[in-house]
Chains A and B, each alone.
Chain A
Amino acid sequence: MLTTYTISIFTTNTVGLLNRITIIFTRRRINIECLTVSETERKGVSRFTIVIRNENREFVEKLVRQIRKITDVLAVFGYLDDEIVFNEIALFKIATPLQGESIDVKTINLDWNAKVVHWGLEYVVVEKNGTEDEIHEFYSYLKKWEILEYIKSGRVAVGKTEKGLVAYLPEGNWEIV
C-alpha cells in the first residue's frame, strides 16, 4: 500500500543544495509529489518539505539517511501524516461572465472555509487552505463554474512534538530571526 511520507530537511542556506537533494530522489527513481523550500525561525537555516508516496518504510529510511549524508544538511526527518500538522494552499481563478451563474460567496466562506481574495472584471480568485483532500473536494464543488486556472502549493508541516527546531540541530549558536 502506498503511504505518504513527509520528509523535512533542515540545511544551511547554500546555493545548489536543492539540486544535490533532488539527485538522491532521482537516483532511486522516486517521484516527488510536492516540494516546499522556506526559511525558518533560525538565521541561515532553510527548510525543505518534500512529500513522497512509497510502499516500503525501510526504503524511505534509507533515503533519509542518504539525505543526512549531504555535507550541508543539518537534520532530516521522515514523518507519517499522523505525526505532523500540515497544510497546503490553493488558488482558483473562476470565470464569472455577466450572463453566467454568479458564485456563492456565502457557501464558499461558511461551508468551504475558503475566501474570495480578488474580484476581477469577469473572474474571481478564490483561496482555500487545507489538506490535499479538502482542496480536492473544494475543486469538485467549483467545477460547476469554469475554472480558468488552478494552482496548489506544496505541503508545509510541523512535527507534533513540544520540541523546537533547535533541539534537533547540531549544537551551535542558532540565532533567532
Chain B
Amino acid sequence: MGQTQSDQPNFLTGAQAIMQSLVEQGVTTIFGYPGGAIMPTYDALYDYQDRLHHILVRHEQGAGHAAQGYARMLNKAGVCMVTSGPGATNLITPIADAMLDSTPLVCIVGQVRGNLLGTDAFQECDVIGMSMPVTKWNYQVVDANEIPEIMAKAFYIAETGRPGPVLIDITRTAQSDKMTIPFEYKPIKTLISYKPRIDPKAEHLEAAAKLINAAKKPYILAGHGVLISGAEQELNDFVDKTGIPVATTLLGMSSMDADHPLYVGWPGMHGNYGANFLTNSCDVLIAIGMRFDDRITGDLASYAKQAKVVHIEIDPSEVDKNVKADAPVIGDAKSALKALLPLVNKNEHTEWRNEFRKYDEEEYEKIDKKDIFHTGDKITMGEAVHMLSNKTKGEAVVVTDVGQHQMITNHYYRFKKRNSIVTSGGAGTMGFALPAAFGAKVALPEREVIAIIGDGGFQMTLQELGTIAQSGLPVKIIILNNNFLGMVRQWQELFHSRRYSFVELQNPDFITIAKGFGIDGHKVEDRTELSNSLDTLLNSKTPYLLEIVCEKEGNVFPMVPAGGSVTNVRLE
C-alpha cells in the first residue's frame, strides 16, 4: 500500500479479505499448516495475530480433527487452513469424518496460481474433484473479489441445516491479487438453492403426537441431532412428561444424564442388551436426530418391524433411507421437540421401563461385574474407564478414538453433563482422538478434556503431542494399551477361528515419547496403583499421558454380530 498506488483506492488483497472475512464472521481460532500455495494468506495472517489465534499443528490431518473437536464443543464451524497438493489431501480424512458425523468445518485450502491450473504444476491437485463426495459444498476461488461472499456462504452452509464440512480452494493469485472493489462482508442468512427446514410442519407434528399418545411401549432413540441443535433440555422435558424410556446413540451420548431414571443406555453393535433387544418389542420407535446407521440396526429385515416409527430428522434424504417412517417429522430436533411437547399426553410407562431392567441385570452379572471386579492379573479397560467415570463424576469431556476402548468408554462412562462426548462414529477414523481432544480443549479450556485412545490409534497421530505441548493446554491422555489392534483381534477370535492376521503390535515406550515432546506421563500395570495413577492424571495442571497396560485379549460385549438381528445379542 505504498504511495505509488496513491491514485488507487486502498483495496484489500485476497489474502487480507480472507482474514477480514474470518474476523467479521466471528472466528477466533484457526488450526493450520502453512506451505507454498497458501503463503500469501499466512503473510496476511501475520498482521491479524491479535484477532485470529492460529494453532500450528504437526500434520494437516491433525488440523482437521482438531477443528472437528472444536466445532463439536461449540456447535459452530471449526476453521482449518492448509496448502495445496499434499496439504489438501492430508485433510481429506477429517473432511470425510466430518461429513459422516455432521460436523461443521470451513477448510481454506491454497491452490496453485490461476494460470497454472490443470497443468500438473508443483503441489497441484484437483482438490475440488477429490473433496466433492465428502463435502457438503466446495468452491474454487480464482478472483479475489469473490472472497467475502464465498466465505460468508461457506459458513452459512457449514453451520446450518445438517451441518457438514465445506472446502474453499483459493488460487495463489486470488490471494495475492488486490480486490478491485471495496471489501464488504455480509453474513448470509438464506440461499435460494438451499433451504433447510427448521420448524416442522404442523401436520407432521400432529401425526407424530397421535402415534406417541396411543403408544403402550414407546421407545426413544436420541441421536447426534439432539447435541447439534442443543435440544438436551427439550429432550428432558419431553421425556419427563411422556415417561418414555430413552437410549442415546454413540454420537448422541451425553444428551441425557446417564442416571436419569428413564435412561436405558445405548443401542448398536456393542450397545446395551436391553437397549438392543427391546427395539423389537416397542410399539412406537421415536428416532430423534439420528439416521439408523447399520451399526445400530444390524439386520434391517428384522429391525423394529412391529413398531410404528416416528422419525424426527433435519435431513429429508435420511427419512425412509434405511428404516421406513410412519410419521416423518422434517425439522431441527430442538424445535420439533419444543413443538411436540404441548401435543403429547402426560404419561408413565413404568412397567415397560422396568422391562429394560431385567436385561440390565443380566448384562451386569455377565459383563460389568467381571470387568469391574476383574480377578486376573491385568487391568481391564472396563475397570479403568469405570474408575475414571467415578473420579470425574461423569462430568469430563471424553474424546475417544476408534476400537475396543471406544466401545468400552461408551459402556462405562456415565455422562452427567450435556455435550460431553467427541468420537468418530460414522467414519471410524483411528487417530481421531488426540487432535480432536486438543481441539475440544481449545474450545472449552475450563472443562476437563480426557482423550481415551488405544495403542494402535495413538500411533497414527501421535505427532500432535507436539501441538499440545506447544499450547501448554492440560489435555489429559489415556492410552489403554493391550498391544493389539484389539477390535480386529476380537473379530478374528470370534469369526475367523483365532487366525490373528497382523494385529499384534510391537509398541514404543509411550512415556519416553511423551517426555520427548515435553509432556509428562507414566505407565501403570498394577491394579493397586490404578486409582493413584488416575488421580495423578486428573490433578495435573499440564498435559499428561497415562498409559494403562490392559488385559491383552479382552473382548467387548455385548455384541450384535455384524448384520445380525438386534435380538441376537451375545453377552459372552
Interface residues in chain A, defined as those with a beta carbon under 8 Å from any beta carbon in chain B: 11-12, 15-16, 19-20, 23, 27, 58, 61-62, 65-66, 68-69, 71-74, 170, 172
* Nearest A-chain residue to B153, judged by Cβ: A71
What's the Cα separation between A56 and B550 when bound, in Å?
Answer: 50
Q: Which segment, of B101-109, B128-136, B198-206, B385-393, faces chain A?
A: B128-136
Is B129 touching A69 in the complex (CB atoms < 8 A)? no
What's the Cα separation between A40 and B333 when bound, in Å?
Answer: 37
What's the Cα separation between A11 and B191 when bound, in Å?
Answer: 13
What's the Cα separation between A162 and B464 when bound, in Å?
Answer: 61
Is A172 touching B321 in the complex (CB atoms < 8 A)? no
Indicate which residue in B133, B157, B191, B317 contacts A62 across the interface (CB closer than 8 Å). Answer: B317
* Nearest B-chain residue to A169, judged by Cβ: B192
Is A23 touching B132 in the complex (CB atoms < 8 A)? yes
A12-B316 CB under 8 A given contacts A23-B133, A27-B133, A71-B157? no
Indicate which residue in A15, A20, A66, A72 contacts B317 across the interface (CB closer than 8 Å). Answer: A66
Residues of chain B within 8 A (CB-CB) of A73 are 193
Does B140 have its Cβ within 8 Å of any Cβ on chain A?
A: yes
Does B194 have its Cβ within 8 Å of any Cβ on chain A?
A: yes
A71-B320 CB under 8 A given contacts A23-B132, A27-B133? no
What's the Cα separation between A62 and B321 when bound, in Å?
Answer: 7
Is B317 touching A65 in the complex (CB atoms < 8 A)? yes
Is B192 touching A19 in the complex (CB atoms < 8 A)? no
Interface residues in chain B, defined as those with a beta carbon under 8 Å from any beta carbon in chain A: 128-129, 132-133, 136-138, 140, 157, 191-195, 315-317, 320-321
Is A68 touching B316 in the complex (CB atoms < 8 A)? yes
Is A69 touching B132 in the complex (CB atoms < 8 A)? no
Indicate which residue in A62, A68, A69, A170 contacts B320 across the interface (CB closer than 8 Å). Answer: A62
Residues of chain B within 8 A (CB-CB) of A172 are 192
* Nearest A-chain residue to B133, judged by Cβ: A23
Residues of chain B within 8 A (CB-CB) of A72 are 137, 193-194
Indicate which residue in B132, B193, B315 contacts A16 across the interface (CB closer than 8 Å). Answer: B132
10 additional contacts, CB 8 Å, given A23-B132, A69-B317? A15-B140, A16-B138, A19-B132, A68-B316, A68-B317, A69-B315, A71-B136, A71-B157, A71-B194, A72-B194
* Nearest A-chain residue to B195, judged by Cβ: A170
Is A11 touching B193 in the complex (CB atoms < 8 A)? yes
* Nearest B-chain residue to A73, judged by Cβ: B193
Indicate which residue in A12, A27, A61 contacts B193 across the interface (CB closer than 8 Å). Answer: A12
What's the Cα separation between A68 and B140 when bound, in Å?
Answer: 22
Nearest-neighbour CB distance to chain A for B529, whole angstroms, equals: 51
What's the Cα separation between A31 and B242 when bound, in Å?
Answer: 48
Is B133 touching A74 in the complex (CB atoms < 8 A)? no
Residues of chain A within 8 A (CB-CB) of B320 are 58, 61-62
A-B complex: 8 closest residue pairs judged by Cβ atoms: A65-B317, A71-B137, A69-B317, A71-B194, A66-B317, A23-B133, A72-B193, A74-B193
What's the Cα separation between A72 and B191 when bound, in Å?
Answer: 9
* Nearest A-chain residue to B190, judged by Cβ: A170
What's the Cα separation between A12 and B194 when bound, in Å?
Answer: 11
What's the Cα separation between A159 and B320 when bound, in Å?
Answer: 26
Nearest-neighbour CB distance to chain B for A167, whole angstroms, equals: 15
* Nearest B-chain residue to A173, judged by Cβ: B192
Residues of chain A within 8 A (CB-CB) of B321 are 62, 65
Residues of chain A within 8 A (CB-CB) of B137 are 71-72
* Nearest B-chain residue to A69, judged by Cβ: B317
Nearest-neighbour CB distance to chain A for B146, whole angstroms, equals: 12
Residues of chain B within 8 A (CB-CB) of A20 are 132
Complex A-B: 20 CB contacts under 8 Å: A11-B193, A12-B192, A16-B132, A16-B138, A19-B129, A23-B133, A61-B320, A62-B320, A62-B321, A65-B317, A65-B321, A69-B315, A69-B317, A71-B193, A72-B193, A72-B194, A73-B193, A74-B193, A170-B192, A170-B193
Residues of chain B within 8 A (CB-CB) of A62 are 317, 320-321
A65-B193 CB under 8 A given contacts A16-B128, A19-B129, A71-B136? no
What's the Cα separation between A97 and B129 when bound, in Å?
Answer: 48
Residues of chain B within 8 A (CB-CB) of A69 are 315-317
Is A71 touching B316 in the complex (CB atoms < 8 A)? no
Nearest-neighbour CB distance to chain A for B293, whole angstroms, equals: 16
What's the Cα separation between A12 and B129 when bound, in Å?
Answer: 19
Nearest-neighbour CB distance to chain A for B550, whole angstroms, equals: 39
Nearest-neighbour CB distance to chain A for B530, whole angstroms, equals: 46
What's the Cα separation between A12 and B153 when bound, in Å?
Answer: 15
Nearest-neighbour CB distance to chain B for A39, whole angstroms, equals: 16
Residues of chain A within 8 A (CB-CB) of B132 are 16, 19-20, 23
Residues of chain A within 8 A (CB-CB) of B315 are 69
* Nearest B-chain residue to A62, judged by Cβ: B321
Nearest-neighbour CB distance to chain A for B379, whole angstroms, equals: 43
Is B128 touching A65 in the complex (CB atoms < 8 A)? no
Residues of chain A within 8 A (CB-CB) of B138 are 16
Nearest-neighbour CB distance to chain A for B162, whole angstroms, equals: 9
Nearest-neighbour CB distance to chain A for B406, whole angstroms, equals: 26
Interface centre among B128, B191, B193, B320 (most CB of A within 10 A): B193
Nearest-neighbour CB distance to chain A for B138, whole angstroms, equals: 8
Residues of chain A within 8 A (CB-CB) of B128 are 16
What's the Cα separation between A19 and B135 when bound, in Å?
Answer: 13
Nearest-neighbour CB distance to chain B for A28, whole angstroms, equals: 12
Residues of chain B within 8 A (CB-CB) of A61 are 320
What's the Cα separation between A11 and B192 when bound, in Å?
Answer: 10
Residues of chain B within 8 A (CB-CB) of A65 are 316-317, 321
Residues of chain A within 8 A (CB-CB) of B129 are 16, 19
What's the Cα separation between A27 and B194 when bound, in Å?
Answer: 22
